[in-house]
Amino acid sequence: MEMEEKEKDNETTRPSNARLEVCDQRVKIKKWHAIAQWRWDTGNNDPEDDGEGDVCGICRVPFEGCCPSCKMPGDDCPLIWGECTHVFHMHCLLQWIGTASSKQQCPMDRRPWVTAERKVD
Amino acid sequence: MSVSTRRLQKELTDIKRDGTPVGIELLSAEDFATWYLSVEVLGNTVYEGEKFALKFRFDNQYPISAPAVQFVVDDHYTAPVHPHVYSNGHICASILGSEWSPVLSVVSVCVTIQSMLASCKKKERPPDNDRYVSHAPENPKKTRWDFHDDK
Ligand SMILES: [Zn+2]
Ligand SMILES: [Zn+2]
Ligand SMILES: [Zn+2]
């Protein structure tokens, strides 16, 4: 959400109205990409999955919901991807990475955690 | 409600809905601080016919911090005779210490311990059992384990 706002602001400083329109459209499409991507990347298409969708392996709360440290449902609770492709609530992962016993490793595969750059383009 | 309580509530719901793996049973989960589960090793193993109980204690950082897990030693249960299990019930298993991961759960710990028992060929106590048991802290998490590798 925030990103979209920022981009729009950038675009409005551009001189041409026509350009602004195009850019606005691009922004919207980008956002669609982002949503589609994270639903695929978590990639658990198990039909047995009783409609609960994908859950964060740390707190077991679906990604659609916020993590247990976020008290209010409306709180901004972003997801974070590792280069290993594993995904968690950012709050849950940071809590883990913040402990000495994590050795900064991904909880799923114990490889060193490297946050993936999510290119929206 | 603490983070650990919410996680344990989900685990309990899953156990009640999907059951537990063969040989593992939930004995009691009366609160979100202490749970008991029984473990049997099925098939042809050195523990044939024996049933053990595991006690789990959770702090409010669970699952970021590992649960304290030990075998119950009381009038009904004993600790299995195993090279990584002390006679006071404490277990030397890396997943309960340095290899703990917050994606593990009560059931996955039970399964790991069950397979640790299943692969045992010879019933014997750890070589330092007596020394350890006479000095061991009440909570096994307070022990600084030096994990022997299972080869
Ligand atoms: Zn989470
Ligand atoms: Zn959160
Ligand atoms: Zn990973």
CATH number for the domain that contains residue B38: 3.10.110.10
Asked if residue A98 has pLDDT above 50, the reply is yes
pLDDT at position A75: 66
For chain B, the average pLDDT equals: 94
**Cβ atoms A21, A11 nearer than 8 A:** no
Mutate to test the interface with B, among A55, A94, A101, A113 (most CBs of B within 10 A): A101
Number of domains in chain B: 1
What's the gap in Å between A65 CA and the centre of ligand 1? 9
Asked if residue A48 has pLDDT above 70, the reply is no
Query: Would you tell me which residues 68-107 of chain B have a C-beta closer than 8 angstroms to some C-beta of chain A?
Result: 98-103
pTM score, whole prediction: 0.78
Residue in chain B closest to A48 (alpha carbons) equals B18
- pLDDT, tens digit, 9 for 90 and up, residues B58-95: 999 999 999 999 999 999 999 999 999 999 999 999 99
The domain of B21 spans: 3-133
In a domain, B79, yes or no: yes
The helix (H) or strand (E) run that includes residue B82 is: none
A96 lies within 8 A of chain B by CB? yes
Q: Which residues in chain A have their CB less than 8 angstroms from residue B8's CB?
A: none
Of A24 and B111, more confident: B111
Residue in chain B closest to A88 (alpha carbons) equals B103
- What lies within 8 Å, CB to CB, of A59 at 6+ separation is A67, A68, A89, A92, B3, B6, B7, B63
Lowest mean pLDDT across A44-53, A104-113, B3-12, B77-86: A44-53
Asked if residue A52 has pLDDT above 50, the reply is no
Of A47 and A70, more confident: A70
- pLDDT, tens digit, 9 for 90 and up, residues B85-132: 999 999 999 999 989 999 999 999 999 999 999 999 999 999 999 999
Q: What is the 8-class DSSP label of residue B147? A: P
B120 is catalytic: no
Marked catalytic residue, from B92, B95, B107, B110: B92
Summarize the confidence of residues B2-7 as an average pLDDT.
91
Domains present along chain A, CATH in parentheses: 2-102 (3.30.40.10)
In a domain, B108, yes or no: yes
In a domain, B139, yes or no: no
What's the gap in Å between A69 CA and the centre of ligand 3? 22
In a domain, B140, yes or no: no
Q: Are B11 and A60 inside 8 Å of each other by CB? A: yes
- Nearest ligand to the CA of A74 is 2
Residue in chain B closest to A70 (alpha carbons) equals B3
Q: Going by DSSP bridges, is the β-strand pair B24-28/B34-40 parallel, antiparallel, or unpaired?
A: antiparallel
Q: Are A68 and B3 inside 8 Å of each other by CB? A: yes
In a domain, B27, yes or no: yes
pLDDT at position A117: 83
**Length of chain B (residues):** 151
Q: Going by DSSP bridges, is the β-strand pair B51-57/B34-40 parallel, antiparallel, or unpaired?
A: antiparallel
**Cβ atoms B132, B86 nearer than 8 A:** yes
In a domain, B148, yes or no: no
In a domain, B150, yes or no: no
- Nearest ligand to the CA of A58 is 1
Summarize the confidence of residues B41-48 as an average pLDDT.
93
In a domain, B125, yes or no: yes
